[in-house]
Amino acid sequence: MLNKQDVAIIRELAAQVAEIAALPVQEEKRPLWRKLNARRPERAMVMIDRATPERHKPHV
């Protein structure tokens, strides 16, 4: 079970994601990503995944 601090952090992060998703530039990008995913790219697209370092640690 999540504690109150964890819930607050998750809500703040979700608000940031929603804010970015609502930017006007995202309306331009959305159809471009759909076309790319349908293998009919209109232009090159770049996605930067700001993953946590733990995801990229070698398994030992």
pLDDT digits (tens, 9 = 90+) for 25-55: 999 999 999 999 999 999 999 988 776 666 5
Q: Is 60 part of any domain?
A: no
The answer on pLDDT for 57 being more than 90 is: no
The answer on pLDDT for 12 being more than 80 is: yes
Confidence (pLDDT) at 21: 93
Q: Is 39 part of any domain?
A: yes
CA 28 to chain centre: 16
Q: Is 36 part of any domain?
A: yes
Confidence (pLDDT) at 29: 94
Range of the domain at 48: 24-52
- Please give the tally of structural domains in the chain: 1
Q: Is 31 part of any domain?
A: yes
* Alpha carbon distance 50, 54 (integer Å): 12
The answer on pLDDT for 4 being more than 80 is: yes
Residue 49 DSSP SS3: coil
